[in-house]
Structure 1
Amino acid sequence: MNSNSSNQVGKNIRRTGFLIVLSYLLIVLIMKVLEANNFFGYSLSSFSNDIFAPPSLKHLCGTDRLGRDVCLRTLQGSSIAIEVVFLAIFFALILGLPLGLLSGYFGGILDKCLSLVMDTIFSIPVILLAVVVAFVLGKGIINASIALCIVYSPQYFRLIRNQTMLIKSETYVEAARVSGADVKTIIFKYILPNVITPLPILLTLNAADAVLVLGSLGFLGLGVPANVPEWGSDLNLALAAIPTGIWWTALFPGLAMFFLVLGLSFIGEELENIFEN
């Protein structure tokens, strides 16, 4: 495959990823508006007498064991997934970025202590750590976000620390230090702009992984409260119905999770290729 064909494939992948993620963001916006205004007098969380109704014109994705529309519930789950993942990655970045800068710049005992803590957290399997933290904190959107934040913050710390250690020995940083620039100026003016370049790649790949981890927490009953629509918890409830031939309660939440992860992964992989080239 020549370079032109490779570039075209990369553009198509990137475009597809962005379209998928933008579609989810649009869905979240529409659902928020519908919930706020209660359009047509119909509550999105209402129950019906159609228990385990198969997909039809009335219920495009069928209904679950409580008569709730699977399509609407799956769309509502998009809002929770986007909200929790955004908060988790934001918290992880806010925690890992400054600690990585300080650790990489100052070194010494501070670097050893922070590296020991972060490496210890990083060595624990993601799912196991998320389950333990979520169990301790309890259910809730903020608690789930904090659990995911603790899981991913070591990655940002390690990335920023390593980049800072490389850049602080550059000539222009030494020149700024000799010219009398203070530590704050050196870190924020000369080092920070040069260490954040790889962050978009890590952000998108972590976001894709966080969707799966959140789904795992929901599946285990440790994510958000039971009354909040969430794909993982819906998949858990759908397990008992699958042997009876009721497939739609598991299919649509699973597909929603799959396509969101796919879109974020496409963006992350293509960003990685761009920065490598």
Structure 2
Amino acid sequence: MRALNGWLLAVYGFLYLPIAVLMVLSFNRSGMPTAWGGFSLEWYGKLAENPKILSAAWNSLVVAVWATAISTVLGTLLALGVERARPSTSREALLFAPMIIPDIVLAIALLSFFTLIKFSLGLRSIVMAHVVFNLAFVCAVVRARLKSYDWSLNEASRDLGATATVTFFRITLPLIGPSVLAGALLAFTLSIDEFIIAYFTAGAGQSSTTLPMQIYAMIRFGVTPEINAMATVVMGVSFVIILAAQRLNKGRLPGT
């Protein structure tokens, strides 16, 4: 156990120590990436006054809200349909393909599709692209709850005269509600943080630039405390949302 704990500590250190250093440097007064000049919130103030960052943050929020809403509805319905259908290995593979396929491959495929149908690139294309891979994650989270769902409750509701719609909103949805909310939070986090697919499907111009794209544009000229502050805010928001999603769904995956 000591050896395992040692390896665990080493892995966590390797993963999170650079992030911790980045967060500390976001409060560095000197503005130098290596020399500590004292504690200061100056860079967070400048971050809030940067119009490009504020515009990119608003774009990310718009994309995340719409992508989350659409993928949560479709992903929940998809999970309900899959769980009631006959098991199929090929269908399972198709469902989880967006989670497994590398982002760069999915991004190129979506860009080619949008070009083929002559769909104009912008925030709408980013939303549609994010829905594609968010669907799989929402479906997986909701299915984790449906594995232990008692379908006889639906039959009892129908026997008592309730319609399918009433049964869904009065019985099914309240029982799977925490997993639906957990899937929505996960989808929101993935959409806020996603870069590669948004980069390929955004088109040109600041009007469709998301926050990760803005970070990438700024970091090409060097890492500054302002970038560190922005990354710290994004990581903090993502961590809180992921923690809430895990608490709601208790970390369960399909089949566990």
- TM-score bin, normalised by smaller chain: 0.5 to 0.7
Q: Does 1:163 align with 2:145?
A: yes
AA in 1 matched with 2:129: A
> CA shift at 1:155, angstroms?
1.8
Q: 1:177 to 1:207 in 2, by over 3 A?
A: same
Deviation at 1:135, TM superposition (A): 5.0
Q: Which residue among 94, 97, 115 is the counterpart of 2:76? A: 97
Inter-CA distance 253–146: structure 2 relative to 1 (3 Å threshold): farther
What's the counterpart of residue 60 of structure 2? Answer: 81
CA RMSD, Structure 1 to Structure 2 (Å): 3.6
Name 1:197's counterpart in structure 2: 178
Q: 1:241 aligns with which of 207, 218, 221?
A: 221
Report what 1:121 is aligned to.
98
Say if 2:79 and 2:143, in contact at 8 Å, map to a contact too. yes
Map 1:202-241 → 2, pairs under 5 A? 202-213=183-194, 215-217=195-197, 220=199, 222-228=201-207, 229-241=209-221
Provide the rounded CA distance (Å) in 2 between the counterparts of 1:155 and 1:217: 16
What is the CA-CA distance between 1:80 and the residue it aligns to? 0.7
- In structure 2, the partner of 1:259 is 233
State the alpha-carbon separation in 2 of the partners of residues 179 and 112 from structure 1: 36
Cα 1:155–1:257 shift into 2, 3 Å: same
Q: Which among 136, 140, 147 is matched to residue 154 of structure 1?
A: 136
Higher relative contact order (CA 8 A, sep 6+): 2
What does residue 157 of structure 2 align with?
176
Q: 2:125 aligns with which of 143, 151, 160?
A: 143
Residues 276 and 157 (structure 1), Cα distance of their counterparts in 2 relative to 1, 3 Å cut: closer
Query: What is the letter of the counterpart of residue 104 of structure 1?
Result: E
2:242 aligned residue: 268
1:193 Cα deviation from its structure 2 partner? 1.6
| Partner amino acid, structure 1, of 2:97 | T
Structure 1, unmatched stretches of 5+, are: 1-56, 63-68
Measured in 1, the distance between the counterparts of 2:112 and 2:236 equals 28
CA contact (8 A) 1:224 1:230 kept: no
CA-to-partner distance for each residue in 1:151-188, whole Å, 9 max, x for gaps? 11012223334533532434x33432444544444333
Aligned residues: 202
Partner amino acid for 2:229?
A: L
Following the alignment from structure 2 to structure 1, what is the Cα–Cα distance between the partners of residues 142 and 196?
28
Following TM superposition, by how much is the alpha carbon of 1:234 offset from its aligned partner in structure 2, in angstroms? Answer: 3.3
Work out whether residues 135 and 222 of structure 1, in 8 Å CA contact, stay in contact via their aligned partners in 2: no
- For residue 239 of structure 2, what is the amino acid of its counterpart? S
CA contact (8 A) 2:138 2:184 kept: no
User: 3-state SS of the aligned residue for 1:241?
Assistant: coil
TM-score normalised over the length of structure 2: 0.62
Q: What is the percent sequence identity of the aligned residues? A: 12
Q: Deviations over 1:255-275 (max 9, x none)?
A: 324413322321331453366
User: Hey, what's the Cα distance between the residues in 1 that align with 2:103 and 2:200?
Assistant: 17
Structure 2: unaligned runs, 5 residues or longer: 1-41, 115-119, 252-256
Task: Say if 1:95 and 1:257 are closer, same or farther in 2 by CA, change over 3 A.
Answer: farther
Partner of 2:168: 187
**Worse-superposed segment, 203-212 or 188-197:** 203-212
Q: Give the match's secondary structure for 1:187.
A: helix
Alignment-mate amino acid for residue 140 of structure 1: G
Task: Report the Cα offset of residue 117 of structure 1.
Answer: 2.9
Contact 1:235 1:254 in 2 (8 A): no
Measure, in 2, the Cα distance between the counterparts of 1:108 and 1:182.
Answer: 24
Return closer, same or farther for 1:254/1:135 CA change in 2, 3 Å cut-off.
farther
Query: TM (normalized to structure 1)?
Result: 0.58
Q: Is the 8 A contact 2:107 2:196 kept in 1?
A: no
* Preserved contact between residue 137 and residue 186 of structure 2 (Cα < 8 Å): no
